[in-house]
């Protein structure tokens, strides 16, 4: 995204008050064409910044964008002076958006670049914990992460004495390790962290507890308590058990800890009364995720939230389509980690809620109550 002049169409960078070409004040941020050419490159061998000093040598360069501006960018190792590059803004370890230049065309093992991996949370080579293997999303996520090159995928299963659909398939896969985990139980989370807490590079919180109903059609707080137990307290248990070690291991070599992923309902953003109490539990988790993001940031560990509309699972049986396939959620996890993103909206419903909320929150509230 760069500023573009509404009057003459010129792109401006760095951000400014008036268009450098025509002095118009109408500058708005828009998606800019991403192509450019590497004008010059240099390698910082003894950077003064402590972060880069530890990671030196570090390549940076000047990129002339096809759309006009020239930018300083971090460079992929395969970028060659004079050759075309593709630019993107990436979130660095401190959560800051920085310009990054990659070769225009795919090169061998392109995603393995050292500087690129600093900006992303690619599951390749990493060890991942998927917290709930009882759910379809958990099972799909485990398979997708494994296929994306994760070294080991630990899959949490609560109440191991209780069989579940898909269990045989999950148990049979190489590189997938079933572990006992009931995130809603403090001791269970702590016990597992004692075993594998030092080697969880990516934690994918696939807690899933969906029940219909709001306030008046339910009796008592039993279900609401379960919702809070699973979504909110489970989150806290996982964060307290795994968070500190992950924060300590943000710079632990190739498979350093990299990211924490939450799968949230998009109704965390705006209450859907048909699943009203569930929406509230998701809103609480969303708020908690922002706290976790701030607390993990000093260690360079990202927090990625995936927002979904109703997923094609049993508890959304009565909800008409469109629904999100669990596999689509799993694929979005992988692509989000590869891109080093903080927020991903999966499917049409989630995207629509996001846009409508930005456009008119009161109208969205009214519409959701039908």
Partner 1 sequence: MQGKNLLELAGAVSSGAVRVVDLTFTLSPDFPVIVLPPEFGQAAPVRIQEISRYDGRGPAWYWNNVTFGEHTGTHFDAPIHWFTGKDLPNNSVDTMPAKDMIAPACVIDCSAGAAQDPDFLLTVPLVEAWEAKHGRIPERHWVLLRTDWSKKGWRDYANLREDGAHTPGPNPAVMKWLVEERGIIGFGTETIGTDAGQAGHFEPPYPAHHFLHGAGRYGLQCLCNLDQLPATGAVIVASPLKIQNGSGSPLRVIALVSVN
DSSP state of 297: G
Q: Based on the shown chain and the rule CB under 8 A, indicate whether residue 140 belongs to the binding site for partner 1.
A: no
Stretch that binds partner 1, among 10-18, 80-88, 95-103, 181-189 (CB under 8 A): 181-189
Exposure of 72 in the CB half-sphere (CA atoms within 13 A): 5
Does a cis peptide bond (omega within 30 degrees of 0) precede residue 14? yes
Both tokens of 118, joined, read 């600093």
Tell me how far, at minimum, the Cβ of 314 lies from partner 1, in Å.
8
Q: What is the 3-state secondary structure (H, E, C) of 44-93?
A: ECCCCCHHHHHHCCEEEEEEEECCCCEEEEEECCCCCCCCEEEEEEEECC
Residue 124 CB contacts under 8 Å (≥ 6 apart), including other chains: 111, 112, 148, 149, 150
Tell me whether residue 222 or residue 253 sits nearer to partner 1 (CB atom). Answer: 222
Site for partner 1 in 223-242 (CB under 8 A): 223, 225-226
Binding mask 82-111 for partner 1 (x = CB under 8 A): ------------------------------
- The distance of closest approach from Cβ of residue 217 to partner 1 in the complex, given in angstroms and rounded to an integer, is 14
Whether 189 contacts 241, CB under 8 Å: yes
Q: Could you tell me which of 341, 111, 15 has the C-alpha nearest to residue 102?
A: 111
Query: Which residue, chain included where needed, has tokens 């998009």?
Result: 266
Q: Which is nearer to partner 1, 16 or 225 (CB)?
A: 225
Contact call for residue 222 and partner 1 (CB under 8 A) = yes
Q: Which of residues 150-179 bind partner 1 (CB under 8 A)?
A: 159-163
Number of residues that bind partner 1 (CB under 8 A): 15
- What strand order describes the sheet that includes 11-12? 11-12, 2-5, 27-30
Closest CA to 207 of 290, 154, 138, 270: 138
- CA 13, chain centre distance (Å): 27
186 binds partner 1 per the rule CB under 8 A: yes
User: Which of these segments, 113-121, 129-137, 219-227, 280-288, binds partner 1 (CB under 8 A)?
Assistant: 219-227
The one among 113, 182, 201, 227 contacting partner 1 by CB under 8 A: 182
Q: For partner 1, which stretch binds (CB under 8 A), given 218-226, 283-291, 323-331, 351-359?
A: 218-226
d(CA 120, CA 81): 24
Compare residues 120 and 230 and give the one whose CB is closer to partner 1. Answer: 230
CB of 223 to partner 1, least distance (A): 8
Q: Is residue 81 involved in binding partner 1 (CB under 8 A)? A: no
Q: Which is nearer to partner 1, 177 or 185 (CB)?
A: 185
Residue of the chain from 41, 112, 177, 185 that contacts partner 1 (CB under 8 A): 185
Instruction: State which residue, 233 or 284, has the beta carbon closest to partner 1.
Output: 233
Instruction: Report the interface residues with partner 1, using CB under 8 A.
Output: 159-163, 182, 184-188, 222-223, 225-226
């Amino acid at each position: 995204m760069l500023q573009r002049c509404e009057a003459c169409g010129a792109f401006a960078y760095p951000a400014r008050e008036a268009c450098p070409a025509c002095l118009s004040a109408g500058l708005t941020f828009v998606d800019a064409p991403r192509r450019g050419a590497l004008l010059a490159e240099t390698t910082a061998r003894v950077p003064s910044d402590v972060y880069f000093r530890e990671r030196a040598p570090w390549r940076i360069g000047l990129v002339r964008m096809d759309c006009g501006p020239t930018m300083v960018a971090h460079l992929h190792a395969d970028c060659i002076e004079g050759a075309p590059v593709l630019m993107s803004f990436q979130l660095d370890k401190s959560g800051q958006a920085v310009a990054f230049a990659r070769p225009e065309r795919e090169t061998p093992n392109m995603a393995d670049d050292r500087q690129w991996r600093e900006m992303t949370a690619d599951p390749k080579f990493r060890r991942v914990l998927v917290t709930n293997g009882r759910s379809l999303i958990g099972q799909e996520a485990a398979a997708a992460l494994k296929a994306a090159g994760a070294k080991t995928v630990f899959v949490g299963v609560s109440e191991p004495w209780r069989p579940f659909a898909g269990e045989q398939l999950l148990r049979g896969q190489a590189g997938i390790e079933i572990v006992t985990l009931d995130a809603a139980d403090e001791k269970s989370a702590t016990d597992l962290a004692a075993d594998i807490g030092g080697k969880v590079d990516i934690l994918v919180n696939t807690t899933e507890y969906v029940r219909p109903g709001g306030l008046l059609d339910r009796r008592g707080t039993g279900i609401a308590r379960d919702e809070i137990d699973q979504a909110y307290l489970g989150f806290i248990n996982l964060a307290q058990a795994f968070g500190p070690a992950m924060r300590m291991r943000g710079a632990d070599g190739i498979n350093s800890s990299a990211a924490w992923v939450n799968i949230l309902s998009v109704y965390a953003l705006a209450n859907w009364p048909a699943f009203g109490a569930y929406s509230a539990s998701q809103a609480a988790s969303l708020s908690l995720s922002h706290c976790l993001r701030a607390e993990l940031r000093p260690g360079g560990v990202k927090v990625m939230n995936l927002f979904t509309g109703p997923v094609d699972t049993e508890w959304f049986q009565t909800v008409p389509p469109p629904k999100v396939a669990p596999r689509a959620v799993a694929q979005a996890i992988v692509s989000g980690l590869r891109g080093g993103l903080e927020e991903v909206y999966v499917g049409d419903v989630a995207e629509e809620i996001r846009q409508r909320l930005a456009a008119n929150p009161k109208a969205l509230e009214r519409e959701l109550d039908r």
